[in-house]
Amino acid sequence: METSIMATDLKLHKKYGKFIKTFEGSTPVMLVYDAEWIKEAFVKNFSLFTNRRRLLFGGALDQGLFSMEGDHWRHSRKMLSSEFSSGKLKKMMPEIQKCVQHFVQILEDSDEQPVDIRTKCYALTLDLISHTAFGLDSDAQTNEDSQFTKNALRLISFGEAEQPLKEKIRSTVAIFVVLLAPDWLVKLFAKLSITVFDAGAINYFEQLCQSVIDSRKSDNPGADFVQTLVNNMKETSKGDPDTLVDTLGYNWTKKGLTKTEIIGNALLFLFAGFQTTADTMLFVFYELAQYPEIQEKLYGEIIEICDSDDVTPEQVNQLKLLDYCINETMRLYPQAFRFDRSASEDVTIRDIFVPKGTAVTAIPWTIQRDPEIWEDPEEFDPYRFTPDRFTEKQVTAFMPFGIGNRLCIGSRLALMEMKLSIITALKKFEFKTCPDTPERPLEFAAVPAVTPSKKIMLSFVKREAATTD
């Protein structure tokens, strides 16, 4: 049986310690399992670790926030940050709640029979993103064969068993080039759109974004992520003093965002948002089913505070045990189980020398399970996040959305989606294990994602109060 990346990281840390220097092709790489060192490097010395390791994906994705560098990244981050403000999230809540109610109805239709909760969570988050990002009804929760759903799943299927052989070969070659080839060859592959992702799926979503943008430019304005970006769309032109060329060779402008940047960031919103949010939710459902006493305490908190179907942001913010349960889930199963920054020059931090160009890779999966930091780290214990137990050392070691100025820009939206989903489902059902539910500790597939080796099967049993409503 192949070993997951996370299991490999745990073994490497145990064998070699907190710092491991190696090479991937011609790129020097340093794996870091020390939270204090990571904080000093990525936060206090952010100017030296501004950019991620150069991983070009090809197509419009290379002009999304993840791949951008330097001033181009700073400009785009500033432009996009307003999309995730408290006011914008509040406006999104009706659409989020509509999708969540549909999700709960689907669980109710299961008639208390075991369901593959990962599949249901994926459909929910696709539905959420299609509404909040694109202003479209994807039909993801009722039609598994919709083009939106099929292409989204193709986008994240690299390395998984159901991926067609042709795509496995193409993505394997692309991953080899991205990780091991010299910079000029990586750029060439990106320009030729030879990517680590399914080329057909990328093309489908680029065309979809193009059609949405064209629609919004005419007489059909919306109130979603893409619409706001379209309102700030500016194309570059030669000779314009505000037109600049970034370190990857792409034109950008200080006046707004180009059409390709809008498409790239919409794709990034989809790719980075739907799988990570869905997988975190499924692990919350799984752990609450494993620990029914915690589930019932959370249910009691929700019933006390959220006493009507219309949940407000203010009520959500009062649900402290819900915060602890989600935090504990993200501690155990961080979706960003690895993230990196590239050193822009030679630097020594805490007596560790880092040569220019080194890809410094933080390993949250291992750090967040370190017994020197966390008591009984493999246990699901939400109460470790209460103010009297959550230590400064643990605050530094807890980094489920990354750290510093390149912290995940959509984290607040992801948390709101998860919270509303859990609140609504828990008011209606008890989450229960069944004979096909895998036991703790879970094992994970050897793919670049936090993917359980076995399906997470759970039953959703109607609560008596919900049955009599």
N-terminal to C-terminal alpha carbon distance within the chain: 48
Q: Which two tokens stand for residue 377?
A: 């780290």
How far apart are the C-alpha atoms of 258 and 429, rounded to whole Å? Answer: 46
* Helix residue ranges, H only, 82-159: 86-109, 117-132, 147-155
* 373 within 8 A of 367, measured Cβ to Cβ: yes
How far apart are the C-alpha atoms of 158 and 181, rounded to whole Å? Answer: 20
174 contact partners, CB below 8 Å, separation of at least 6: 58, 189, 194, 195, 196
Give the HSE-up count for residue 403: Cα atoms under 13 Å, Cβ half-sphere.
Answer: 28
How far apart are the C-alpha atoms of 330 and 138, rounded to whole Å? Answer: 28
* 56 within 8 A of 189, measured Cβ to Cβ: yes
Alpha carbon distances (Å) from 167 to 133, 157, 445: 27, 10, 19
Question: Does the annotation flag 408 for ligand binding?
Answer: yes
Identify the three-state secondary structure at position 341: strand
* 96 within 8 A of 103, measured Cβ to Cβ: no
Q: In what order do the strands lie in the sheet with 115-116?
A: 115-116, 457-462, 429-432
How far apart are the C-alpha atoms of 451 and 7, rounded to whole Å? Answer: 12
Q: Residues annotated as binding site? A: 408
Q: Residues annotated as binding site for heme? A: 408
